[in-house]
Structure 1
């Protein structure tokens, strides 16, 4: 295997993308099959005796999302081969995969069948599993191949999920529909008197853009590579304009932000506070309330809501307005009145790519802030999105696709709840004052109390980096290498510009490659242009946030004013595997690296950033 991927081939993969694959365009799977890091699919182990065995298939399909023509999607389907038939729970009328339901301590075998025209691998997000079962992209399998996952369920009860983790095309594959929830249950959580059955409702939040034939549009080049994909329509459980008839009683809502890059600021339309009972790693010790809840891509939360005082009314779950999470050019564009006029291809356009010196244009990469001459980062129009040579799904350029979207930080309705029904039962109606014990990770237990391991969010020119580096399939720096069965103090922070300067002797850059070093050419200006929020996901065991340090007023990397619009929406009382890091913010956390050795990824869960190689390995030895 090699850690290096040919640059021309990588760009070709990015350009061809999901559109060619969904249309079965010749060449794309062949290109991917040439990746030298690819391993053979894993087979079942004779010594492993599963309690539950599941066959999981990823394949093309169709779904009736909008009136009119059905939409081409990619989807998971599953069936139980051995064990409890309730281990697979289909969600009706959606492209989403079924809910996989496990219990702590169960031994699980899942056989993944790849029926897609691409390399593919699945990650069990939030699950603490061995390296070979984590869905590392080095284990991606080709079309018509299988991969067998075997693991014991180590997690406490909670809401987790599964999705693709194929190198450079995770965003496209997830966008096509490949995602599903995982419920883990245990005896202790079973005793907590919370709503269950029909009153325990999953809500998977996503956003999509469709063409006039109801087909998905997606292109991650140009501004989308920087900002992340933002769609025109909000979908809940795979459906637009989601509405649910509810009873006048309490409900438990399990919410997953399954969007590629959208950040939600969730609140109730009637002014009721948001009651949070669980985060990524399961139930909290006790419920907490917030005026609103911030939830970044990949994060989960569980809300408790009582509709008994809203009989005959409609209550909306909304995403409220906020700002400060996106780079200044994006926020200036939206403040100036939207995207259409600001992102056009004209020579004076804000992101115009014809070589004019717009804010993100520029002549030959020198004069403009972030662009290049003809086809720089913000240029390029007219690629087919999800379609083939026959144009079956239309064509659109990344500029136009970015122009027609619900802006990040705008206000919109997520879901509607119409309180029209009488409750069949009032069991588990009251909110418990206590939920379950949550053993705290303590600073005195870490092995490095005075020297936290860094996760530095930065950039090398137009590419986001972590610890000064882009992704290497099997590479890990010394600061990314951890002894097994240790508890580590870590700190996530923004360091745009600082890590690309020549002559630095920081430990992060001493072990870097030339592309992680060298002058940035933009320095402070580039840092300002690249500052944005990043949802950082750490594979392996959960972590616990112990401190948030907000951005300084007037700081280079972040907006203190913008932070004021989101700061009351964070819930750090529980275990997490993903955290939204605001521009200029510093987050200290404690993370165990226990039981399993191998490579465990950490990356931005803005999937366009992840596919742009904002991803690294932890190496546990």
Structure 2
């Protein structure tokens, strides 16, 4: 692996030839911010922005329900989608769509999802943000093998360990299910915007890029008592970037196009960026809104790209985004923002009041970390008239008890590093079964993350609260319960957490998916 040249060059280098050919500055705004990744330039003819209506992912209906449990079935399958007008894109999908269908659950009520794998490669499903028993968490070697019987343990082992990007792994580390697997989610957790995605070891970046992602929303009584927008004014927005080949297929820098060897080519080891921004699978879509409040559930489902979102024009007086929730559900009180910085896997629930705009206003959602085709995300077209709005954003949203760091019995350090060894945590590349921590259930702990590069850090099982950045106050986007925190170069972030309910082995990892695939993961085991 020619890691040394990449890592010695700094956090981000974009192809200067591609940028200047497109008429962009030699160094893009994204690169000037020191953000990770390299752009793959599309070869397909790209559509004009704001021509495609915003798709809303369908809500999946349960196949059965009883007094305690709702059961769903989803098939992972190949599909041909029209993402760019007039072209067909081969995708790996949940239920034939990208994003996959939205699953809606109730806090305190069990959800069971049976996944059948009709793809031509193994898969794993992780419910991101779920408080989940270990057997259903989506451990990266708990595989669903293809239903056609084309894979056995030996071939799986070769795929995961072969080549320069493979992981150390013994056959005993694998848990193989033939054709299907059932995931059980008790949902002993509060209302929140969750998402599900593939989590197969060494191949997560490729699988998510190809389409394996969808929303899973959890509701509860506390949230429903609030007079927040709902129904067609409660909109999940999955923001991703992709690039496309001339025939419309997804373009990804596979190290091996047959996917027998994991990883990406050396130039993209710091993350793959696309030049097309998709929202709910549509390029730069447009959505008609009334002069009312809307709840927008923003999810950054990109492999590596960070966004700085801003409304244009800003409403008079600013504060166009009223944040009501984070990764783990409602904040204690709303927080107003002019911009939102959102790293891969983070979620922000915001309310936007479109009555602050005149009828006919076209409000763009911009990306201030972007240039050229990545500088805008979508558009909202504000309708005429002034219908009565029966919603509001209360000054108090929820009781969010603070974990007391003074009660922490352990402080643990996790160092996220890029070096000529590779992407590592505490100096080691990922090895399944090698736990870096063994927290006791119910015990308050402080975890300290440090880095020399830019990494969004995700912790499985339980949410956490951010305590500090570089021994100072938390950032403007760190409030509430989090499961992913944006860790910037040469930064130390302290979090406080407490793992509850479920013993077993869980994950801590970078959610830059190329970093994750190239070994920036670690196990921790609760007991």
* TM-score (normalizing by structure 2): 0.76
Q: Secondary structure at the match of 1:303?
A: strand
Q: CA RMSD of the aligned region, Å?
A: 2.1
Q: 2:478 matched to which residue of 1?
A: 572
Q: 2:33 matched to which residue of 1?
A: none
Paired residues of 1:225 and 1:612 also in contact (CA < 8 A) = no
Which residue among 441, 447, 465 is the counterpart of 1:484? Answer: 441
Paired residues of 1:291 and 1:568 also in contact (CA < 8 A) = no
Which residue among 81, 98, 102 is the counterpart of 1:99? Answer: 102
Describe how 1:241-280 pairs up with structure 2 within 5 A: 241-271=284-314, 272-273=318-319, 274-280=321-327
Paired residues of 1:49 and 1:107 also in contact (CA < 8 A) = no
Q: Secondary structure at the match of 1:287?
A: strand
Paired residues of 1:224 and 1:608 also in contact (CA < 8 A) = no
* Change in CA separation of 1:596 and 1:161 when aligned onto 2, cut-off 3 Å: same
Describe how 1:248-327 pairs up with structure 2 within 5 A: 248-271=291-314, 272-273=318-319, 274-310=321-357, 311-321=359-369
Paired residues of 1:265 and 1:293 also in contact (CA < 8 A) = yes
Paired residues of 1:290 and 1:569 also in contact (CA < 8 A) = no
Gaps of 5+ in 1: 1-47, 79-93, 323-405, 495-530, 552-566
Q: Secondary structure at the match of 2:394?
A: coil
Q: 1:170 matched to which residue of 2?
A: 204
Alpha-carbon separation, structure 2, partners of 1:595 and 1:127: 13
Paired residues of 1:199 and 1:250 also in contact (CA < 8 A) = yes
Q: 2:502 matched to which residue of 1?
A: 596
Which residue among 508, 520, 526 is the counterpart of 1:614? Answer: 520
Paired residues of 1:200 and 1:253 also in contact (CA < 8 A) = yes
Describe how 1:188-199 pairs up with structure 2 within 5 A: 188-199=222-233
* Change in CA separation of 1:244 and 1:159 when aligned onto 2, cut-off 3 Å: same
Which residue among 439, 452, 455 is the counterpart of 1:534? Answer: 455
Offset from partner CA, 1:551-587 (integer Å, 9 cap, x none): 9xxxxxxxxxxxxxxx997422200000100001111
Which residue among 402, 409, 416 is the counterpart of 1:440? Answer: 402
Which residue among 85, 91, 102 is the counterpart of 1:67? Answer: 85
Residue 229 (str. 1) matches residue 272 (str. 2): yes
Q: 1:115 matched to which residue of 2?
A: 118
Q: 2:469 matched to which residue of 1?
A: 548
* Change in CA separation of 1:569 and 1:269 when aligned onto 2, cut-off 3 Å: farther
Offset from partner CA, 1:290-339 (integer Å, 9 cap, x none): 231111001100111111131211111111148xxxxxxxxxxxxxxxxx
Alpha-carbon separation, structure 2, partners of 1:290 and 1:108: 35
Alpha-carbon separation, structure 2, partners of 1:49 and 1:219: 48
Residue 141 (str. 1) matches residue 141 (str. 2): no
Cα deviation for residue 143 of structure 1 reads: 0.4
Paired residues of 1:445 and 1:487 also in contact (CA < 8 A) = yes
Alpha-carbon separation, structure 1, partners of 2:419 and 2:86: 45
Gaps of 5+ in 2: 1-65, 148-178, 255-263
Alpha-carbon separation, structure 2, partners of 1:413 and 1:68: 22
Whichever structure has more helix as a proportion of its residues is: 1
Describe how 1:365-444 pairs up with structure 2 within 5 A: 412-422=375-385, 426-428=389-391, 430-444=392-406
Cα deviation for residue 75 of structure 1 reads: 0.8
**Aligned positions, number:** 417
Q: Determine which structure has more spread, i.e. the larger CA radius of gyration.
A: 1
Paired residues of 1:320 and 1:411 also in contact (CA < 8 A) = no
Cα deviation for residue 593 of structure 1 reads: 1.4
Residue 54 (str. 1) matches residue 72 (str. 2): yes
Paired residues of 1:261 and 1:297 also in contact (CA < 8 A) = yes
* Change in CA separation of 1:570 and 1:229 when aligned onto 2, cut-off 3 Å: farther
Q: Secondary structure at the match of 1:275?
A: strand
Q: Secondary structure at the match of 1:308?
A: helix
Q: Secondary structure at the match of 1:189?
A: helix
Offset from partner CA, 1:126-178 (integer Å, 9 cap, x none): 00111001000121121011111123111200100000000100111111111
* Change in CA separation of 1:58 and 1:208 when aligned onto 2, cut-off 3 Å: same
Alpha-carbon separation, structure 2, partners of 1:157 and 1:182: 11
Whichever structure has more strand as a proportion of its residues is: 2
Describe how 1:74-93 pairs up with structure 2 within 5 A: 74-77=92-95
Q: 1:217 matched to which residue of 2?
A: 251
Alpha-carbon separation, structure 2, partners of 1:615 and 1:49: 39
Alpha-carbon separation, structure 2, partners of 1:63 and 1:50: 36
Q: 1:327 matched to which residue of 2?
A: none
Alpha-carbon separation, structure 2, partners of 1:590 and 1:101: 29
Cα deviation for residue 549 of structure 1 reads: 1.2
Paired residues of 2:418 and 2:453 also in contact (CA < 8 A) = no
Q: Secondary structure at the match of 2:111?
A: strand
Residue 473 (str. 1) matches residue 473 (str. 2): no
Q: 2:38 matched to which residue of 1?
A: none
Alpha-carbon separation, structure 1, partners of 2:463 and 2:266: 32
Alpha-carbon separation, structure 2, partners of 1:308 and 1:466: 48
Paired residues of 1:118 and 1:143 also in contact (CA < 8 A) = yes
Alpha-carbon separation, structure 1, partners of 2:398 and 2:250: 42
Alpha-carbon separation, structure 2, partners of 1:602 and 1:493: 14
Q: Secondary structure at the match of 1:459?
A: strand
Q: Secondary structure at the match of 1:616?
A: strand
Cα deviation for residue 226 of structure 1 reads: 2.5
Offset from partner CA, 1:39-91 (integer Å, 9 cap, x none): xxxxxxxxx9851011111110011111112211111129xxxxxxxxxxxxx
* Change in CA separation of 1:421 and 1:588 when aligned onto 2, cut-off 3 Å: same
